[in-house]
Amino acid sequence: MSTFNDLDPVLHSQLRLAVMSLLISVKEADFSWLKEKTNATAGNLSVQINKLKDAGYIDVQKKFRDNYPLTTCKVTRKGTDAFDIYVKNLKKYLLYNSGKH
């Protein structure tokens, strides 16, 4: 039996993990705010948001505000659960490497 569980490949990406971490803390955010906080390009952030959406980890709502497109992202229950499991599994790696196993 392995000591380590696989890390979720959807979350095991720096930008997707950053987006999820931010959304877990605020529950909902718009694209511009996520772009500012992650320092990502609009194109890369858009691709990563779509991967999170396709996995069912976030809901994405597109609408207009004052004739400007507004994309809002919100973490789902599935996304919250996946994030919690990811963090728990990552802690196992860190604890093992620190000799606290």
Residue 45 lies in a domain: yes
Assign residue 47 the CATH number of its domain. 1.10.10.10
In the predicted model, what is the mean pLDDT of residues 22-30? 95
H and E: helices and strands count for the chain:
4, 3
pLDDT in tens, 34-91: 999 999 999 999 999 999 999 999 999 999 888 888 999 999 999 999 999 999 999 9
d(CA 52, CA 46): 10
Residue 48 lies in a domain: yes
Contact 10, 52 (CB under 8 A): yes
| Residues ≥6 apart with Cβ < 8 Å to 93 | 4, 7
Q: What is the largest CA-CA distance in the chain?
A: 57
Residue 5 lies in a domain: no
Residue 46 lies in a domain: yes
Show the domain range for 92. Answer: 14-97
pLDDT at 27: 84
3-state secondary structure of 58: strand
| pTM, entire model | 0.87
